[in-house]
Copies of this chain bind each other. A is one copy, B any other.
């Protein structure tokens, strides 16, 4: 087998090795089934059990109340940017309100304009998305259909550390890049969604957790394949879902419960990993300059600059030699981005911190 590297990709991203090993073992035939997970009908007993376990495990991990539906969709978060206003804004006579804290929030807000009135109630653009609002800074409109936030901005590396309280307005949250990294009070959210390819599986599955009173808001003009209620009614099986993606997601929920011990433990682990990297950054005497202001630093994506583009290039080249890969920042921001999602081992974060200290010493 080819040797594995430490993969700091922002997504698709590192997955737990035991999950990959089980998918590998079962690739030719699921035990007791005799066909691959890639080959079995979505209506087969074997797949229905996988789907049911995926949902049950997720409900236990997040403590999802009974009045919330769990949906497994396709199309990534980008399709949710459209589905949310189609279902919750179109023909409502209300306004969709967006907290724009980074590149993904910007894109989400823009898509809402296709369906109705959109208002940006807070934007971090003036300071290049290096901070987040205090909850008291966010104005509330009297006619809000919903309030949309992005819990973690993957590109800029800013993250809400706690669950906001939006009062009577349904809170809609894009949790794509920090889903399942800590416990969440689902009761505060009207709809929480995440594409899988950071903490929850391969690209091609999107998980939506939605309070059931929001399901009947879509007007009749919304086609069934873009309608949450239609998916809820058919238990995510209006058509063939991404069966393999759901299978890997199910294996990840098992890993989170079994190997990790739940989301409180996961958060401890994520804090310890992030501390390793941020400490190396903070102790560099300004050689590394973090993008996010300290109180808003992401536990998932550590973003920073080096003294020059040239030094950054050497940093990246040297990192790859140490098997520390995919550390280049997003093209819109530049610099370095170390994505240290749930499945990044402690050893990966430790080796990165060590490399950062060593590189700063030799180049500072």
Q: A253 at interface (Cβ–Cβ under 8 A)? A: no
Evaluate whether A243 and B203 lie within 8 angstroms (CB atoms) in the complex, with A1-B28, A28-B24, A75-B74 already known: yes
CA distance A326 to B23 in the complex (A): 23
16 contacts between A and B (CB under 8 A): A2-B32, A7-B39, A11-B240, A14-B35, A44-B326, A74-B75, A74-B242, A75-B75, A78-B224, A78-B225, A81-B223, A82-B223, A82-B225, A114-B221, A202-B243, A244-B245
The 7 closest A-B pairs by CB, nearest first: A204-B242, A5-B34, A24-B27, A78-B239, A2-B29, A74-B74, A38-B202
Q: How many whole Å from A297's CB to the nearest CB in chain B?
A: 23
Residues of B within 8 A of A248 (CB): 38
Residues of B within 8 A of A39 (CB): 7, 9, 12-15
Q: Using Cβ atoms and an 8 Å threshold, which residues of chain B touch A76?
A: 74, 239-240
Q: Does A350 contact B (CB under 8 A)?
A: no
For residue A334, CB closer than 8 A to chain B, the reply is no
Q: Are A41 and B10 in contact (CB under 8 A)?
A: yes
Is A40 an interface residue, CB under 8 A from the partner? yes
A319 at the interface (CB under 8 A from B): no
Interface bracket on A: 35 or more
**What is the minimal beta-carbon distance from A21 to any residue of chain B, in angstroms?**
7
Given contact pairs A10-B41, A240-B76, A31 touches B15 in the complex (Cβ within 8 A):
no
Q: Answer whether residue A238 sits at the interface, using C-beta atoms and an 8 A cutoff.
A: yes
Judge whether A151 is part of the interface by a CB distance below 8 angstroms: no
A178 part of interface (Cβ distance < 8 Å): no
- Within 8 Å CB of A77, what residues of B? 239
A272 to chain B, nearest CB (A): 22
Query: In this assembly, does A213 line the interface, its C-beta being within 8 Å of a C-beta of chain B?
Result: no
A79 interfacial by beta-carbon distance below 8 Å = yes
Q: Is A195 an interface residue (CB 8 A)?
A: yes
Interchain CA distance A11-B36 in the complex, whole Å: 12
